[in-house]
Structure 1
Amino acid sequence: MTTATSPVAPSPAVAAAKAAGKPIVALESTIVTHGMPYPANLETALAVEALVRATGAEPATIAVIDGVLRVGLTEEELAALARADDLMKLSRADLAYAVAGGHTGSTTVAATMIAAKAAGISVFATGGIGGVHRGGETSLDISADLEELARTGVIVVSAGAKAILDIGRTLEYLETKGVPVVAYRSDALPAFWTRDSGYAAPLRLDDAAAIARFQQTREALGIDGGMLVANPIDEGHAVSRETVEGWIERALADAAARGIAGKAVTPFLLGRIVELSDGRSLEANIALVKSNARLAGEIAVALT
């Protein structure tokens, strides 16, 4: 059971890795519950965990199950999440609500960062972060992921911000908050399915050890907050920016016509784009998540 002083429940594998000083990589569960259809979500989750283990690190997929903040899930628990409907999608605002009320829910980037930090995990792999939504200058629809990056000292390995967002404003928000945005082996900032968002990368590093040294130096200097590592999708699965924009414009129009808003927007857009792309976006999504998990494992190993 969780308690007021120990709200995090690591799995036996994660607890053993922690005790042995083995590197650990946090993984979010929203990809499983809201990011992909079944069975691709379960297959991807298991493949991602295997890729992390292949680097020498231990994977820790994070979710709230019956009010317990679980850091590390069994294959059976992953399968149950993959098949579940209408689960809570938890961020900073409602993570503690789910724990206190005995609910079950998956963790977004922000909630996964909170749990990872509480569990002493320094590296987290995801697909793409949330950010400033298109039209966010008037709607103020801005993901809590950005604020979490500013305050929580975890390295987040992603393929950049989701392409459905306003990339320019997302980048400006991160700069204002002092969050380092590091492109991996690229001078261009990637955006999920595309290798080039049209924006230059603020910083560039070309190996996992350099990324680890950068974060260790920030900590030694007393600089709070996390780091965003933007890992471009491989060229074989990348989609052109023009093609992606076409999918997004269609999906945004459909969302507006159906009155979809709030937390429901991103899952709807991603699902609609899978349809519009004839599955091509899903294939790209799976490829980039795997690539990010591999890099995150390498960074975690470098840190230890």
Structure 2
Amino acid sequence: MVNPLASLSLPGTKGNSDKFVSNFWGELSIWDNLKFRSSLGTDLSFWGNDGWSPAYFLSTKNFREYSEVWSSMNRSLVWQVENVLSYEKQFGSHFIQALVGQSAQGNMGQNLSGGNRYLQEEDPYKANMGFATGTQEYQTASGYVYTPHRLSSLFARISYNFAERYMFQATVRRDGSSNFGPNNLYAIFPSASVGWNFTNENFLANRPQWFSSGKLRASWGKNGNESIGQFKYTTTMASGNNYPFGNPGVVNTGAKPNGFGNADIRWEESTQTDIGLDLAFFSSALTFSVDWYKKNTTGMLMDIPVPAYS
């Protein structure tokens, strides 16, 4: 049995978190609906935890022979830069929009943690590692860096609309990810779509009032997936795999491959075709949509474990 009030009175661990989000942008009108816009966004985060425990005895299975203090701190930065040049123009019943742009984003971060034993005083205001007297064997310290990630893109888009009757849009992107090696760092992803508002045609000018609108549409596009993790394009090593070698009974420090790198790993690509019909009735109070689509994925990204023996 453990006294629940005594258990609840133990100080334990307290978490902390701070976040700073900022967005900056500027826009310049160059000439006749030609505009340039530049933006920068950042997300800076700090989080961690601090805790301590006095020496205590609650039961034969729930006790601590010494006081202890511990702390952990994390920091991360996510940023994105985007520059876009856009143009739009109305020519009678014709409306055109076009843009070209560039974007880049990335993240980085690190962790630092440590602990020690034997506080000089079991006082919550002095529960930090500066007041711990534990010798080196009781001191712990560790840290690591979050693997940085980068994504860079170039893109362009053009849209055309004739009298809200015929619509067309085409887009192309060139994306590069740090998840892939130099052999296949970049990939190109195009897409296109068309639409026909047939209720705006002359042959439906005298349609019944209950028939609000009808639109036939079709699209085709390709997109990519980079979610495979870092450094899969090369072979990394894992330490701590010690093995007896040479002198009998002597264990030597060793390392082993984490897996086999694939220098030709590339973007996973999905191509999708879609054809749809949209109908609206009674001032759009009732709507109906039907779609047919086909999706094909190639180069699926899968991390297949390799046995440690053969």
Fold in common (TM above 0.5)? no
| Higher strand fraction (1 or 2) | 2
TM-score (norm 1): 0.20
| Higher helix fraction (1 or 2) | 1
Rg larger for: 2
TM-score (norm 2): 0.20
